[in-house]
Structure 1
Amino acid sequence: MTLDPVQFYKAMADDTRLRALHLIVQEDELCVCELTEALDLSQPKVSRHLAQLRKLGVLSDRRAGQWVFYSINPDLPEWARQLLRLSSDENRHWTRINRQRLEAMDDRPARCC
């Protein structure tokens, strides 16, 4: 997979998309409903941002029953994967409130199909 660095950095320049990416990196995989809760945003807004990241090739998705789970695309170039991991690891304080909302969420969907 080839990824245009300019488009990648533009995608990361948005607060919502970057927070979602950090959370997905930290959790490995999240459902739209989990991201909606963690980000405290409407489902359509979160879905719109996730669709942009999927279209760019940063995220991949899988359906499990009624749930759609998002993860970092395994075909993402290594430089982009490393950048996301480093950014997430070094800025965990930035998503602390989002992680707290996620951890407090009742009825999180199961990860197994």
Structure 2
Amino acid sequence: MRLKHINISFGVQLFKAFSDESRVRIIHLLYQNKEMCISDLEMVLEFTQTKTSRHLIYLKSAGLASSRKVDQWVYYYLKDEVLDMVNQLLKYVEKDQVLQKDLEIYQILYSNRELAANRLHNRRWL
């Protein structure tokens, strides 16, 4: 479901979410990677768990993000209905060096995790 029209109160929440650099960085990472757990966000952004949680709670309260729990892990993602608006807003800042660096760090972390998982899997069969 995509939003075609929004009320002013939701618009205000959307713009408030984009008024903070930390939240824009989180939104950008969630948009680019579909979903992420809080520990990955902490590592990429070099935020404390408290700061990361506070911003994620804000994004959830504003109606931009949601979460799903898998065992002890909580994965955060942007709601489908806001993806078009987020995409439009992120187009203006997508070339920002800070946002590009965040993506680069996450890709390195993710590739290292995949490499470690592959090694572990291969050891089991030897």
TM-score, normalised relative to structure 2: 0.71
Larger Rg: 2
Q: What amino acid maps onto 1:83 in structure 2?
A: Q
Partner of 1:100: 104
Say whether residues 1:25 and 2:31 are aligned partners: yes
Structure number with the higher helix fraction is: 2
**2:15 corresponds to which of 1, 9, 14:** 9
Q: Which amino acid aligns with 1:96?
A: Q
Q: Which runs of 5+ in 1 are unaligned?
A: none
- Give unpaired runs (5+ residues) of structure 2: 118-126
Structure 1 residues 37-92: Cα deviation after superposition (integer angstroms, max 9, x where no partner) = 110011111011001000111001001111111111123374x243245346x335
| Residue aligned with 1:69, SS | strand
Runs of 4 or more, structure 1, over 6 Å off, are none
Aligned length: 107
Given residue 14 of structure 1, which amino acid in structure 2 is its aligned partner?
D
**Alignment match, 2:76:** 70
RMSD between aligned alpha carbons?
Answer: 2.4
SS at match of 1:76: helix
Q: Percent identity?
A: 29
Specify the SS of the correspondent of 1:75: helix
**What are the within-5 Å matches in structure 2 for residues 41-52 of structure 1?**
41-52=47-58
The aligned amino acid for 2:32 is Q
Distance 1:14 1:27 in 2: 20
CA distance in 1, matches of 2:14, 2:77: 16
Q: What TM-score, normalized to structure 1?
A: 0.79
Q: Name the residue aligned to 2:87.
A: 82
Higher RCO, 1 or 2 (CA under 8 Å, sep at least 6)?
A: 1
